[in-house]
Amino acid sequence: MGLWKHRAWDSSGAEIAEAAIVLPLVFMLLLGIYWFGRAYNIYATITYAAREGARAATASSGATLGNTALTPDQVATRVAQTLQASKLNPNQVTPLLPNPSLKDCATLAPVTSCAAIGGGNPQICYQSNVQINAPTSPAEPSTCGVSVSFQYPYQFYLPFTSLNNQLIQLKANVQTTGEN
């Protein structure tokens, strides 16, 4: 009888059973951290690319090029170069309708459409002469600038979850004023 009691309370295989339960959960947690970290990295990269495109659109091209503003295709090229520097595919970029609160500086009408630019470049939404900040008083002039917006697809790979093969669109929308 003592032998049976000893065997019933013996825990010699418990560590293996506990590891079989805990290790897959830890692995899924680490995999989730990796994929969400990658999504955040791509979001930061596309926001930086949109910011670079908007900055390039507001800056003059320099004295050697006649101090002219960049064309929309040149802005799209700048966005593509920034994406390629971070090993992202610029061909996956699609235009994103800008913030509905943006207004045209000349007419003060809301901006409701966007022409996608960039033939072989990424298809971005570029708008110039948009109102960035609305004036707080009638005597104050409005601040005008440019808007660059686009979206980039990202697909999660988290097996055994509802996020497995889930495709989301990461959005970048940047407005900036001109440089003096």
Which helix (DSSP H) or strand (DSSP E) does residue 139 occupy?
A: none
At 145, the amino acid letter reads G
149 domain residue, yes or no: yes
126 has pLDDT over 90: no
4 domain residue, yes or no: no
* pLDDT category of residue 82 using cuts at 50, 70 and 90: very high
Which helix (DSSP H) or strand (DSSP E) does residue 16 occupy?
A: helix 14-58
1 domain residue, yes or no: no
64 domain residue, yes or no: yes
Residues of the domain holding 50: 13-177
State residue 4's pLDDT score.
62
46 has pLDDT over 80: yes
State residue 115's pLDDT score.
65
Distance of CA 131 to the CA centre of its chain: 23
89 has pLDDT over 80: yes
Q: How far apart are CA 119 and CA 125, in angstroms?
A: 12
State residue 67's pLDDT score.
64
State residue 153's pLDDT score.
94
62 domain residue, yes or no: yes
pLDDT per residue as tens digits for the range 1-29: 566 666 556 666 778 888 888 999 999 89
Q: Give me the phi and psi of 23, to 5 degrees please.
A: -60, -45
Question: How many domains is the chain partitioned into structurally?
Answer: 1
- Region 97-108 average pLDDT: 77
Q: How far apart are CA 48 and CA 40, in angstroms?
A: 12
- Region 82-93 average pLDDT: 91
What average pLDDT is seen over the chain? 81
54 domain residue, yes or no: yes
* pTM over the 0.75 mark: yes
- Region 89-114 average pLDDT: 80
114 domain residue, yes or no: yes
Cβ atoms within 10 Å, residue 130: 20
Residue 144 in contact with residue 130, Cβ under 8 Å? yes
123 domain residue, yes or no: yes
Which helix (DSSP H) or strand (DSSP E) does residue 113 occupy?
A: none
* pLDDT category of residue 40 using cuts at 50, 70 and 90: very high
